[in-house]
Homo-oligomer: A and B are copies of this chain.
Amino acid sequence: MAAHGARSRSGGRPTLEEVAARAGVGRGTVSRVINGSPRVSEATRTAVEAAVAELGYVPNTAARALAANRTDAIAFVVPEPETRFFAEPYFSDVLRGVGAELGETEMQLLLIFAGNDRRRQRLAQYLAAHRVDGVLLVSVHADDPLPDLLTQLEIPAVISGRRSADEALPSVDSDNFAGAHSAVEHLLGRGRTCIATITGRLDVYGAQRRLDGYRAALTDAGHRVDESLVAPGDFTEEGGRRAMTELLAAHPGVDAVFAGSDVMAAGARQVLREAGRRIPDDVALVGFDDSAIARHMDPPLTSVRQPIEEMGRAMIDLLLAEIADDRPASARRLEHRQLVLPTELVERASS
């Protein structure tokens, strides 16, 4: 099984050279076959493939990376602490979509948490060393320096969730505005009259857009927007609790709440229950994300679904295209590659 010729220290694995010798061809030819170049005759290709199979040859990625200046790896960068990442189902959902799509390619996925300064420092070093071909960025706040760093280093990157309406980097987002709009419309349709909202961190563009959607839905239906019905949250459960507490104090008569995320809705639900409000009888509740939490909540939560799988797929597609594209970055940046995918309201017992 193991066999043949002088072997290097690297665990006795065969090299290109050895495959070439075995197949009776040159090194370059084997390289061409491995990389699927069309400029190889059928006979030669067959011979090389046989040698590869016999020797169990697997290319050395480090050597390839060094010579070709690429790594066949992309980084999934989370500019948050691990805790936050795993507490927020949105992140894992995106990661799941990305993983599924990437499984079909030769690319490898690196998971990088950059939740504190030291980690960010390390990440910057890491990126400067060009250890990945591209970067997937989730949950980027408006003032995050990371995207600019990426641009400056000319590393292909795709953002999940734009930072603003005129995002410079390619991005994939869901239609937060329309999603929020439909949620509020739904509540209005159910005859609710005092509809509050709990927002996410408003320096996250998506949270802002959900708020815009909330406002627009009310205005479109001919209602005035009462700004005291808008309670700021921060995407955490605790934030949801706080916001709901405030809301209840200011508006005891509130009969519906649109929360900017399922996690915040969960927090709100706790407060509502403690206050003796029944869901949906007294207060209707709608979330956003349609994560596992929504299905498990009691009662199950009506929520705005985002096509996460598709978003993951789209991010990878965009990124791979970006990586393959070798025009200068300046030329690329002119084309706006912004994808906005539709949302869908999933109605459950909470509304």
Using a CB–CB cutoff of 8 Å, the interface residues on chain A facing chain B are 9-11, 13, 56, 58-63, 65-66, 69, 71, 73, 76, 82-83, 85-87, 92-93, 95-96, 99-100, 103, 108-113, 118-119, 122, 125-126, 128-131, 153-154, 266, 292-293, 296-298
Partner of A11, one of B63, B65, B96, B154: B154
Whole-angstrom distance between the alpha carbons of A110 and B111 in the complex?
Answer: 6
B86 near A93: Cβ-Cβ < 8 Å: yes
A103 to B103, alpha carbons, bound, how many Å?
A: 25
- Cβ–Cβ < 8 Å partners of A153 in chain B: 11
| B110-A96 in contact (CB<8A) | no
Task: State the copy count for this chain.
Answer: 2
Alpha-carbon distance between A59 and B111 when the two chains are bound, in angstroms: 21
CA distance A13 to B76 in the complex (A): 23
- Report the nearest B residue to A131, measured CB to CB: B61
Contact check, B87 vs A128: say whether CB atoms are below 8 A apart.
Answer: no
Please measure, in the bound complex, the distance between the C-alpha atom of A207 and the C-alpha atom of B326, giving whole angstroms.
52
B100 to A92, Cβ gap below 8 A?
Answer: no
A292 contact set on B, CB distance < 8 A: 87
User: Do the beta carbons of A99 and B71 come within 8 Å of each other?
Assistant: no
Contacting residues, chain B, for A113 (C-beta < 8 A): 99, 103
* Contacting residues, chain B, for A76 (C-beta < 8 A): 111
Known: A86-B96, A119-B103, A128-B56. A66 touches B63 (CB 8 A): yes
- Are the CB atoms of B58 and A62 closer together than 8 Å? no
Do residues B83 and A96 form an inter-chain contact, with CB atoms below 8 A? Answer: yes
Q: How far is the CA of A333 from the CA of B131 in the complex (A)?
A: 33
- Is the beta-carbon distance between A110 and B112 smaller than 8 angstroms? no
The smallest beta-carbon distance between A27 and chain B, in angstroms, is 16
Enumerate chain B residues within 8 angstroms of A131, measured Cβ to Cβ.
Answer: 61, 108
Q: List 29 A-B contacts (CB under 8 A).
A: A10-B69, A10-B130, A11-B130, A58-B128, A59-B129, A60-B66, A61-B129, A61-B131, A62-B62, A62-B66, A62-B71, A63-B66, A82-B99, A82-B100, A83-B96, A85-B96, A86-B95, A86-B96, A92-B92, A95-B111, A99-B111, A103-B113, A103-B118, A103-B119, A108-B126, A110-B110, A111-B111, A293-B296, A296-B297
A105: nearest residue on chain B (CB-CB)?
B122
Contact assessment for A92 and B86 in the assembled complex, using a CB-CB cutoff below 8 Å? yes
Extra contacts besides A108-B112, A108-B131 (10): CB < 8 Å: A10-B130, A13-B129, A58-B125, A65-B65, A65-B66, A73-B110, A86-B92, A86-B93, A95-B111, A109-B112
| Cβ contacts under 8 Å, A86 to chain B | 92-93, 95-96
| Residues in chain B near residue A108, CB distance under 8 A | 110, 112, 126, 131
Of B112, B118, B119, B266, which is within 8 A of A296 by CB?
Answer: B266
